[in-house]
Each structure stands twice: as structure tokens, then as C-alpha cells.
């Protein structure tokens, strides 16, 4: 399982609307919220998917939200990953049940953290 500090592997998937998504179009351009569900989880996660999609404007144009039921290397569904524009994962979680996925407001807090953190300061602290 991918975890904090790892880098998102380059992937090509279809989102839940059937549109192709290539991580190479996001990498180094936008932060990422990646929700991976199994094909059987998609129906049971309708409410979560709708809430996340409805919150897209709050994430801003600097964040891409990708929701897929395709396989992403290093992740077992259901899972959520938040990564900065360079692909460094700042938050990752996998659950047994989509109902246990983190609330959208928590994902927004992680994106806020990514937007305001100071990499130079973090380097000095190490």
C-alpha cells in the first residue's frame, strides 16, 4: 500500500464517468485527490462520490480529483490518496468499506496543507 512520503505511480485509468485520465497530464501541474473504488464499491459509494464531486470547486483549480474503479498500482480499493503537484503523497488511507472513507472536509484540509506548506522549511527541520 502506498503511504505518506511515497510518490504516486504514473497511471492511466478511466474515471467513473468513463473518461480516460492519464496522471502525466496532472503531474507537476496540479495536486491530486485520487479515490480508487472496486467495481462493486461504486454503487455503494454513490453518496460519497456525489459529495466529492459537488465539493470540487472548493478544492480549486490547482487540484485534480480522480475517481476510478480501475486498478492503480500500490492501492487496494477502496482507498484515497492526496498528493502534491510533484506526486508526493501527503495522505493515504485504505478501508474495507467505502462508508469508512474520510469525509470530504478532511480531504480539503489536506489540500489546504499542501498549498500552504513550506518545503524549504521542512528541509531545514530534517
pLDDT digits (tens, 9 = 90+) for 101-119: 999 999 999 999 999 987 6
Residue 108: what pLDDT? 97
Can you give the pTM of this predicted structure?
A: 0.92
Inside any domain, residue 61? yes
Inside any domain, residue 125? no
Between 121 and 99, the more confident residue is 99
Inside any domain, residue 101? yes
How many domains would you assign to the chain? 1
Inside any domain, residue 38? yes
* Order of all β-strands in the sheet with 31-36: 63-68, 31-36, 79-83, 89-94
**Domain with 62 in it: what CATH number?**
3.40.30.10
Inside any domain, residue 4? no
Q: Are 70 and 15 in contact (CB under 8 A)?
A: no
What's the chain's Rg over C-alpha atoms?
14
Angle (CA) 44-20-31 rounded to 5° is 80
For 106, phi then psi, to 5°, come to -70, -40
> What domain range includes position 39?
12-120
For residue range 27-78, what is the model confidence (pLDDT) as tens digits? 999 999 999 999 888 888 989 999 999 999 999 999 999 999 999 999 999 9
User: DSSP assignment, residue 104?
Assistant: H
Inside any domain, residue 56? yes
Amino acid at each position: 500500500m502506498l503511504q505518506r512520503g511515497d510518490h504516486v505511480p504514473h497511471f492511466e485509468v478511466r474515471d467513473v464517468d468513463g473518461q480516460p485520465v492519464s496522471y502525466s497530464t496532472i503531474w507537476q501541474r496540479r495536486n491530486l485527490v485520487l479515490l480508487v473504488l472496486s467495481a462493486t464499491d461504486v454503487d455503494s459509494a454513490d453518496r460519497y462520490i456525489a459529495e466529492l464531486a459537488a465539493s470540487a470547486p472548493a478544492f480549486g483549480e490547482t487540484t485534480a480529483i480522480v475517481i476510478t474503479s480501475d486498478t492503480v498500482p500500490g492501492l487496494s480499493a477502496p482507498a484515497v490518496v492526496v498528493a502534491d503537484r510533484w506526486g508526493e503523497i501527503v495522505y493515504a488511507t485504505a478501508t474495507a468499506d467505502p462508508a469508512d472513507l474520510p469525509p470530504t472536509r478532511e480531504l480539503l484540509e489536506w489540500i489546504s496543507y499542501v498549498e500552504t506548506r513550506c518545503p524549504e522549511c521542512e528541509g531545514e527541520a530534517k
